[in-house]
Amino acid sequence: MEKKLHTFFQSGLLDKYILDETSASERLTVENFIDTYPEVASEYERLQNNLEIIAKATAIEAPTTILDAILNEIEEDNTPVIKLEKAQHSTPWYSIAASVVALLFAGGYYMKTQQNLDLLKENQVVVEEIFDLRSDIEDNNKRLDNLMDEFMKLNNPETEKYVFRGNDRAKDLKTVAYINPVDETSMIDVVSLPQLPEDQTYQLWAEMQDRMVNLGILDASQKKLQSVPYVKDALALSITIEPNSHLNTTAADSAVAEIDLNNKRNN
């Protein structure tokens, strides 16, 4: 059975199933493994949790539809009315007929010209909408590529998960670090950071044998998975509260959360 499970996990079918990229037969195979083996069901739950972590995103407002643009153009179209003055004296019938023909011709020409202008405006709106849609599609494709990249990093067996929990100075602080020493990548998921005064910031530090290395400022508003510099041979990571004026120095008692990297790597 262990060999069968090993072969299944190595096939990558479970990852494809999570991302909805399996065929009908592959989907039945995966679902059968999930129902039959607790190990597969547990791994399925873990992959779902990882996908949920990296899928944090704000809703993208849909672009204005072409129909709305055309309707707006129609509502704004006010065709002027030509006012005819009442004749004060009699006019020969052929003069009246000629005038009517001229007015009809002028009115028809004006309406045709106005229709052409309206069509040009509508065509321009359509072109702009198409460019907007193409831009949105490209942006969405980039977001999907980034999502896939982060998902693969989280699912890498070499990726270790570390949870920062705040001390008495920041009890509600919770942040998760994902570190892969093989690929030399680091990511931070800011779950919650207590509000600070405007003159203070949260900063991430790597503790080396002989010094502290600043890895940047943690922004409480950026509640999404974000990359941070990987520091080889770091013994620990810590989150500190520092004044805005101290971006490259840290006090001995400023740490509000720490994780030990050395112990976990040695286990």
Classify the phi-psi angles of 184: left when phi > 0, otherwise alpha if psi is within -120 to 50, otherwise beta.
left
Burial category of 205 from C-beta neighbours within 10 Å (exposed 0-12, middle 13-18, buried 19 and up)? buried
Asked if 115 and 73 count as a contact pair (C-beta separation under 8 A), the reply is no
The reported pLDDT for the residue numbered 59 is 39
The reported pLDDT for the residue numbered 102 is 63
Domains of the chain, residue spans: 2-54, 66-153, 160-266
Q: Hey, what amino acid is at 105?
A: F
Fold for the domain defined by 160-266: Immunoglobulin-like (2.60.40)
Is the pTM here over 0.75, yes or no? no
Separation of alpha carbons 5 and 14, rounded Å: 11
- pLDDT tens track, the chain, 267 positions: 778 888 888 888 888 888 888 888 888 988 998 898 888 888 888 888 877 776 654 434 445 555 566 566 656 555 554 554 554 545 555 455 556 566 666 666 667 677 777 777 777 777 777 767 777 777 777 766 666 666 677 767 788 889 899 888 888 888 888 988 888 888 888 888 888 888 888 899 999 888 889 988 888 777 677 888 998 888 999 999 888 877 777 776 788 898 888 755 544
Burial category of 149 from C-beta neighbours within 10 Å (exposed 0-12, middle 13-18, buried 19 and up)? exposed
DSSP letters, 24-47, are: HHHHHHHHHHHHH-HHHHHHHHHH
